[in-house]
Amino acid sequence: MKGFDMHVYQHILCAVDFSSLSEAACQRALALAEQSGARLTFLHVVEYFPGERSNQLIPPEDVDPAAYEAIEERARLAELAARLACEAAHQQVLISPHSAWREIVRFAGATGTDLIVLGSHGFHGVATLLGSSANALANRAPCDVLTVRHRP
């Protein structure tokens, strides 16, 4: 294409919510990272609103509930990376009092991410991660956003 500058991605961020579509997005992000030689980060955001956690398992008394959940989510992220055979990917869990999409946008800007990959919809606490959240993320992200759709 004349006048089209083909950008090679340097840092790909894959937003993970542990849904099957999220795993497909991780596979796509991994393939893109391998093709371009980009650094790959898997990011999972735990929205932490202390007043809304009354139905959750109670951690041991000497452990902060947010820290306890972060430990569990880090283990899940490591399992995902192992299942996809990409343990070299940076794995990050953020605990935030903000919505996941806001944290993804903030993290992408802070780390120089030039592509965010995520499922077109998935789990997000009780609600869907994407849909309206995907739209908000796509409109506010400091970089390109690739949403991976379900393929029956």
State the total domains in the chain: 1
Domain assignment present for 2: no
Distances (CA, A) of 36 to 3, 57, 83, 84, 119: 21, 42, 22, 18, 20
Domain assignment present for 78: yes
Q: Write down the pTM of the prediction.
A: 0.80
Residue 49: what pLDDT? 66
| pLDDT (tens place) for every residue of the chain, 152 residues total | 555 556 789 999 999 988 888 899 999 999 999 999 999 999 999 887 665 545 555 555 555 667 777 888 899 999 999 999 987 889 999 888 888 889 999 999 999 999 999 987 654 433 444 466 777 888 899 999 998 887 76
Q: Which domain holds residue 99?
A: 11-148
Residue 31: what pLDDT? 94
Domain assignment present for 5: no
For residue 15, give the nearest of 53, 38, 40, 43 by alpha carbon: 43
Domain assignment present for 64: yes
For residue 13, give the nearest of 37, 44, 35 by alpha carbon: 44
Specify the CATH number for the domain of residue 99: 3.40.50.620
Domain assignment present for 6: no
